[in-house]
Structure 1
Amino acid sequence: MGFKPSEIRVLFCVARGDMKVSEISKRMHVTSPTVTQVINGLEANGLVERSVDLTDRRAVRVQLTQKGEAVRQKAGEALFSSFSGLIEYLGEERSNELAELLTDAYVYFAEREASLHQSQWSGDEIL
């Protein structure tokens, strides 16, 4: 589609509702300056627009434009098509095994990250 994966990820993130840059960066686990760079490009292409947060005039909120929603929808359809093709290629049983393994990997990394974060604040040594 001509967009970078980071741009598509931001579009999907912002599609949940208008968000502050800091909220987007937290959800994506990247710095605010990184998100700002991506948003600058998306805004230049007419995919997102910024507005001042009504409750905090220092903050900027980002929302999708109609064009941005159309691009996000096309990207979602392409992703769905890719996964459908993968499922067809692997078959149902192997696809289920893959889903279980990916879920286990996600849980492992989430628990590891939580443990590391807790260790940082409790004074425990981090490995």
Structure 2
Amino acid sequence: MEENKELIAQKIMKGLIEFRRLHKHKSPICSLTHSEIIVLSSIKSYVETHKLGIKTSELSNILNVASPTITQQVNSLERRGFVERAVDKEDRRAVRIKVTEKGEEVLKKASEEFEASINGLVEYLGPGQSEQLADLLSKTFNYFMNNENNL
């Protein structure tokens, strides 16, 4: 019985590792990497709530990523016209980042592509297995949220 649990655990770990590798091998969505989409989406969400642009340090804290990494991502997004930087009117030392119209468009397209991908998965699995997968993912999330030492 214990051996069976270990085999199942190994199978789950293999599946999770494969998913982690998946976004590295899959072609980028809308010419953006998975990480860039997350950064762009986080900037947009912050601005929707706070109305001001976000500082690099705030973005770094939200995403729990080192500031130099965020700076590289933002530089890349800015070069391609997806974000813009502006000096903070109240604190001239601070620079705030906002999503441009081009960035909004690419986020919308990325969201549509992701939704189409999930709809394709539902079609592939069928209603029963899709419902089962959704329930299992929810349970898995709750397990790891309530047992933080497991990750």
| Deviations, residues 65-118 of structure 1 (Å, cap 9, x unaligned) | 1111111111011001000101111112211221122122222222333xx5xx
* Correspondences of 1:1-127 after superposition (within 5 Å): 1-16=30-45, 17=47, 18-113=53-148
Aligned mates of 2:61, 2:103 — CA distance in 1: 21
SS in 2 for 1:19: coil
**Amino acid across the alignment from 1:80:** E
Stretches of structure 2 that go unaligned for 5 or more consecutive residues are 1-29, 48-52
1:106–1:53 CA distance, 2 compared to 1 (3 A): farther
The number of residues matched between the two structures is 114
Greater Rg by CA? 2
Stretches of structure 1 that go unaligned for 5 or more consecutive residues are 117-127
Q: TM-score, normalised by structure 2?
A: 0.67
1:100–1:3 CA distance, 2 compared to 1 (3 A): same
The structural deviation recorded for 1:56 is 4.0
Comparing both structures, which one devotes a greater share of its residues to helix? 2
The structural deviation recorded for 1:55 is 4.2
1:21–1:109 CA distance, 2 compared to 1 (3 A): farther
> Identity of counterpart residues, as a percentage?
46
The structural deviation recorded for 1:54 is 3.6
Cα root mean square deviation, aligned:
1.8
Aligned mates of 1:43, 1:105 — CA distance in 2: 36
Q: TM-score, normalised by structure 1?
A: 0.78
